[in-house]
């Protein structure tokens, strides 16, 4: 005994949602600090302040709820990159502790300042692509 399914029902389940937004390009645009919709307009108008609307395509970006996510991701990435490097440098060259601290403190700070706005852009773009927090009302 086999179960028969209606082909129209199967195709409706497999078809993408109308107006579905591609995640990959949106994340890349967000990481580049561009509007996730058009990729042309700047997403931020200061270091980590998201614009209310895109100046290029008028996409509303005020719905985002990035909160602490970008900061957490920045700490996670920087920590996982710097900790093994710190161990390797200490084991191989044995620099003075103050020299080691100075070099790695500057490196951690620079990497954190570089990644934080880019990860915020990626989080906002993720929310836009998945139609989270009010982004779903628009096409």
Residue pLDDT, tens place only, 73-130: 999 999 999 999 999 999 999 999 999 999 999 999 999 999 999 999 999 999 999 9
pTM above 0.85, yes or no: no
For the record, the structure tokens of 42 come out as 């700047």
Residues 6+ apart with CB under 8 A from 108: 78, 82
Mean pLDDT, the chain, whole residue set? 88
Q: How far is CA 137 from CA 19, 55, 111, 118, in A?
A: 11, 19, 36, 25
Which tokens belong to 103?
A: 């070099």
pLDDT for the residue 19:
67
Q: How many CB atoms lie within 10 A of CB 8?
A: 7
SS3 127: helix
Structure tokens at 13: 């389940």
């Amino acid at each position: 005994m086999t179960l028969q399914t209606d082909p129209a029902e199967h195709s409706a389940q497999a078809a993408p949602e109308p107006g579905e937004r591609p995640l990959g390009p949106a994340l890349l645009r967000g990481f580049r600090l561009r509007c996730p919709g058009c990729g042309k307009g700047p997403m931020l108008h200061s270091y980590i302040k998201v614009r209310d609307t895109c100046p290029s395509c008028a996409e509303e970006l005020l719905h985002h709820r990035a909160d602490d996510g970008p900061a957490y991701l920045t700490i996670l990435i920087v920590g996982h990159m710097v900790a093994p490097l710190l161990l390797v440098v200490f084991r191989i060259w044995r620099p003075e502790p103050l020299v080691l601290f100075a070099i790695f403190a500057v490196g951690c700070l620079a990497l954190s300042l570089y990644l934080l706005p880019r990860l915020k852009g990626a989080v906002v773009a993720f929310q836009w692509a998945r139609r989270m927090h009010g982004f779903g009302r628009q096409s």
